Structure 1
Amino acid sequence: MRVRTTSAVAGVSALLLLTGCGAADMTEQASPFANARGAKTVTLSVQSWVGAQANVGVARYLLEHELGYRVDTVQVDEVPAWDALSQGRVDAILEDWGHPEQEKRYVEDKRTIAPGGDLGVTGHIGWYVPTYFAKRHPDVTDWKNLDRYADRMRTPESGGRGQLLDGSPSYVTNDKALVTNLKLDYQVVFAGSEAAQITQLKQFAKEGKPFLTYWYSPQWLFEKIPMTEVKLPAYEEGCDADAAKVACAYPHTPLKKYLNADFARTGGRAAAFLKNFKWTTEDQNEVSLMIADDKLTPQEAARKWADRHRSTWRPWLPS
């Protein structure tokens, strides 16, 4: 969830449940199904945010129960996942937030990775304040006015400045550069993971305190804590090309799927299914909320969603 990006897109969701986007690097982990000659197996890369786990949960459930495959999942950081996909340690990534350097290297130059099509969900990263605070202080939603509220956003961790709460240090974000280049009286503070960030936001909301946070959509937490985006300087193509000079908002990013190139050619019905897999933000959030709030496993949530939405997923099944 890059940026969840590099200089292009910074970024929207365990267990697999609420660990951060910075999961342990497991690119050297071999899938128990890797090189299982003649077996109907698929290995999926699963990122640690809940929206990505919802994608994989539903894909896994349908691959296993409708198409008869055995499915393994491997948790890998965003950029190392491209290496794992290129080398065939995983067969597919179902939610990429935009990694142009890896795309050029592996898709265009080496041709070891093949595009798998749109996921159907558009991701966006931004800075957010709680809506209850924005209603009382509507000018806070313009970045030019943030310093007026820096003293209200201070925490013991922010060193006398306002706190801009980020998630995992492994996220690729533009936030430190933005704070510097926009000359804001704020300090970026990393919660450590998506789970830890959510815990802090819930505590702030419970106490009715103001906060400024890096956050992203789609994400189920908006259902529990309404948040309003702060308007940063408008995004224009190339404004984030130099990571040190970024002074613009994050873009809106259509989320993509990618397949190992050999798997795309020889993966049969599984590869065809994953190319066909395309759903809406509402679908993803429905599954994410069951995982995060109802405490269901991704497979339990996938089963419930699949039972309710047969008309959505049946067209994904190859004939």
Structure 2
Amino acid sequence: MARTRIVALAAAAALTAGAALTGCGAADMTRQSSPYADAAGSRTVTLSVQSWVGAQANVAVARYLLEHELSYRVDTVQIDEVPAWDALSQGRVDAILEDWGHPEQEERYIEGKGTIARGGDLGVTGHIGWFVPTYFAKEHPDVTDWKNLDKYADEFATPESGGKGQLLDGSPAYVTNDKALVKNLDLDFQVVFAGSEAAQITQIKQFAKEKKPFLSYWYEPQWLFEKVPMTEVKLPPYKEGCDADPEKVACAYPHTPLQKFFNARFAEDGGEAAAFLKKFRWTKEMQNEVSLMIAEEKLAPEEAAARWVKDNRATWQSWLPKDQPTG
């Protein structure tokens, strides 16, 4: 996820168990063309789905309302963060609903080619950081300052970290600054990839079950905080431009208002679907509610979306075109 995910978080990784859709690192399916993509004049929409569960939640609710309230056919395609921009530019998908910040892609496709248009704020602010379990932070308060991490490197070490402390990351497909941070801050740590958001969650939950210390790349919003309380480690303060050179990064990740992006033709001619997606805006609490149902309660995304839609009519009604009756 750049999420510099940035992250990035991702929002990527493999699917969360039980999720039929998509943090930040799915298989590259940009060569898979949706039958609905760029289908001029038809009531069809193709949404890009990133692999972290928050992105799944966005798409699940948007898809449910497009299908049940606006009578669209909706297809979804799971694509890694950066390739998704190529697919969006080429019209193979119509919209990305959660982007954590890709300035190079924005410059290329929005300011340069004009093939992608801004879709507005999602309403959620994302933040990536390094986190330790709160139970460990309470016992060792100084661990929350990065300057003291080496003091605990032995306690964070695992068989995979080669004798150094382990910094647990998710998918190698996430756009992160972690390797550069470890190097530039001269820390006795090794970045170890779990492989996906789901695998990272499994490891974190196992560490917590055994009350073991761990240091992990993680991000907000994310439902796991409700199950495993974590405390952020303070990295050197973020300043505008401090992460401009990926090789020289030595600062914290920024707080990023998450954005939506549309294929330019869809933004112009997408009718009620485009109008709806531009208005689609909710809170991190709402996103986490749906994410929790998908990832922890193991509901299918459509079922989770249906439950949320049923209980939040006042919120989603404002997203519909004004002359559209609600069912």
Q: Do both proteins adopt the same fold according to a TM-score greater than 0.5, normalized to the shorter chain? A: yes
Q: Distance in 2 between the 1:297 and 1:88 partners?
A: 28
Q: Which residue of 1 aligns with 2:119?
A: 116
2:238 aligned partner, one-letter code: Y
Q: Does the 8 Å CA contact 2:23/2:55 hold for their aligned counterparts?
A: no
Alpha-carbon distance, 1:209 to partner: 0.1
Q: Distance in 1 between the 2:9 and 2:56 partners?
A: 15
Q: Distance in 1 between the 2:22 and 2:38 partners?
A: 29
Q: Which residue of 2 aligns with 1:84?
A: 87
Report percent identity of matched pairs.
77
Q: Which residue of 1 aligns with 2:43?
A: 40
Gaps of 5+ in 2: 323-327
**Gap change, CA 1:290 and 1:4, over 3 Å in 2:** farther
Q: Which residue of 2 aligns with 1:25?
A: 28
Secondary structure (helix, strand or coil) at the match of 1:245 reads: coil
Q: Which residue of 2 aligns with 1:305?
A: 308
Q: Which residue of 2 aligns with 1:173?
A: 176
Alpha-carbon distance, 1:98 to partner: 0.1
Q: Of 177, 188, 193, which aligns to 1:190?
A: 193
Q: Which residue of 2 aligns with 1:153?
A: 156
Aligned pairs (5 A) from 1:60-71: 60-71=63-74
Alpha-carbon distance, 1:122 to partner: 0.2
Q: Which residue of 1 aligns with 2:240?
A: 237
Q: Which residue of 1 aligns with 2:131?
A: 128
Q: Which residue of 2 aligns with 1:206?
A: 209
Alpha-carbon distance, 1:265 to partner: 0.6
Alpha-carbon distance, 1:30 to partner: 1.1
More deviation, 18-27/238-247: 18-27
Alpha-carbon distance, 1:3 to partner: 3.0
Q: Which residue of 1 aligns with 2:321?
A: 318
Alpha-carbon distance, 1:16 to partner: 3.9
Q: Does the 8 Å CA contact 1:18/1:49 hold for their aligned counterparts?
A: no
> Over residues 241-273 of structure 1, what are the superposed CA-to-partner deviations in whole Å (9 max), with x where a residue is unaligned?
111111000000000000000001110000000
> Over residues 132-170 of structure 1, what are the superposed CA-to-partner deviations in whole Å (9 max), with x where a residue is unaligned?
000011000000110110010010000001000001111
TM-score normalised by structure 2 residue count = 0.94
How many residue pairs match? The answer is 317
Q: Which residue of 2 aligns with 1:10?
A: 8
TM-score normalised by structure 1 residue count = 0.96
Does residue 255 of structure 1 match 2:228? no
Q: Which residue of 1 aligns with 2:146?
A: 143
1:107 aligned partner, one-letter code: I
**Gap change, CA 1:293 and 1:18, over 3 Å in 2:** farther
Q: Distance in 1 between the 2:213 and 2:139 partners?
A: 11
**Gap change, CA 1:37 and 1:122, over 3 Å in 2:** closer
Secondary structure (helix, strand or coil) at the match of 1:117 reads: strand
More deviation, 207-216/18-27: 18-27
Q: Distance in 2 between the 1:35 and 1:88 partners?
A: 5
Gaps of 5+ in 1: none
Secondary structure (helix, strand or coil) at the match of 1:150 reads: helix
Q: Does the 8 Å CA contact 2:50/2:81 hold for their aligned counterparts?
A: yes
Q: Distance in 1 between the 2:228 and 2:34 partners?
A: 37
